[in-house]
Amino acid sequence: MSSPHGIIPALVTPLTESGDLLEDGLRDVLDFTIDRGVHGIFVLGSSGEIYGLDEDQKRRVVEITVEHVAGRVPVYAGASEITTRDCLRTARMIEEVGGVAGLSVLTPYFMTPTQGELVTHFREIAGGTDLPVLLYNNPGRTHVELSVETVLELAEVDGVVGLKDSAGDLERLRTILDARPAGFTVLVGLDTHILPALEAGAEGAIASTANVAPQVVSGIYEAYRAGDLTRARKLQEALTSLRDLVGRATFPLVLKEGLRIAGIDAGSCFAPAREIDPRLRTELTSVVESLAAL
C-alpha cells in the first residue's frame, strides 16, 4: 500500500428512509468527491453509519465503491465493530471483496478496555488480515482513548501502518509525530485542525466535511503543499462554518443535507436521525453555497 495521504472523505452511505442502500446515490457521492480533488475514499466509518448497516449492506458498499472508483484514488474501509471477533469478520469480508488499500479500525465503544486490552485487540486484528491497519482514535465518540504510549507501541506491530487521530489535541498529535517510527502515517480526523496538523508533519486528513465541500478540504492540502499558506489558511477558516453546523443536528444528518443542497441525493439517515431545524437548513444552504464559490 502506498502511504495514505492528502484528503480522504469519510463518506456517507446514501440510504432510503427505510434503511435500504441507495446504490446510485453512493456512486454519485463517489463521483462528486473524486471529481473535486480528494486523494482517497473511506467507507464504512461513523459518517457512513456502519453501526446500522447489516452484513450484506457493508459488503455491497465496499463492492460498489471499489468497482465505481475503478482505481481513480485509493479506497479505504472501516472494520470498526465493538468486539475483536466482529472487527476481524468485517476485515476478512473487505479482504475477500478486494481492491481496498487498507483498514481503519476504531477503538471499541460501549465497553471501556484497558490500554493493554487495546494493544491485544489491535495486534489480533493486524495479525488476522493481510490488509494494512490504521488505528483510529476518537475518544469524543467512544469514550476510549489510545494513549500516546499505546499508539507508539502499536506503531511497531507488523501490519499497523498509521493512525487517524480525532482527539483534537494538537500537542498530543505533535508528540506522536515526533516519536513515531519511520513510515508510520498520521492523519488528522478533526476537520478544523487540518492545516495545523499538516504544519506539524501529518500526512493528511480523513474528513467528514469533504463529503459536502471536497474542493475546499482538498484545497487546504494542495495549497499547503504548494507553499501557499495564505490560501490554505483562508480555506481552513472558511471550513469552520460548515464543521460547526455538523454538530448541531444528529450526526450525520448535516452531511447528507449539505450534499442535497450541493445537488447530490444522499438520501436519509437511519432512524431516529431524521430532523433538521429549518433555521439550520437555511444557515447550511448559505454556507454550502459560499464554500462552492471558493
Determine if the peptide bond prior to 252 is cis (ω within 30°): yes
Alpha helices by DSSP H, listed for 155-212, are: 170-179, 194-200
Cβ atoms of residues 164 and 187 within 8 Å: yes
Q: Which stretches of the chain are assigned E, i.e. beta strand?
A: 6-9, 41-43, 75-78, 102-106, 133-137, 160-165, 185-188, 204-207
Q: Which of 112, 88, 104, 183 is nearest to 136 (CA)?
A: 104
**209 with 191: CB under 8 angstroms?**
yes
Output the nine-digit C-alpha cell for 272: 431516529
SS3 state of residue 7: strand
Catalytic residue of the set 51, 76, 109, 164: 164
Active site residue 256: no
Q: Which residue has the cell 465541500?
A: 213
Question: Contact 65/43 with Cβ under 8 angstroms?
Answer: yes
How many CB atoms lie under 10 A from the CB of residue 191? 24
Distance between CA atoms of 9 and 213, rounded to whole angstroms?
Answer: 10
- Residue that has been written with the C-alpha cell 427505510 in this structure: 18
- Candidate list 136, 221, 224, 256, residue with the active-site label: 136
Instruction: For residue 224, indicate whether it is catalytic.
Output: no
Beta bridge partners of 134: 104, 162
Backbone angles phi, psi at 196, to 5 degrees: -55, -35
Positions marked catalytic: 136, 164
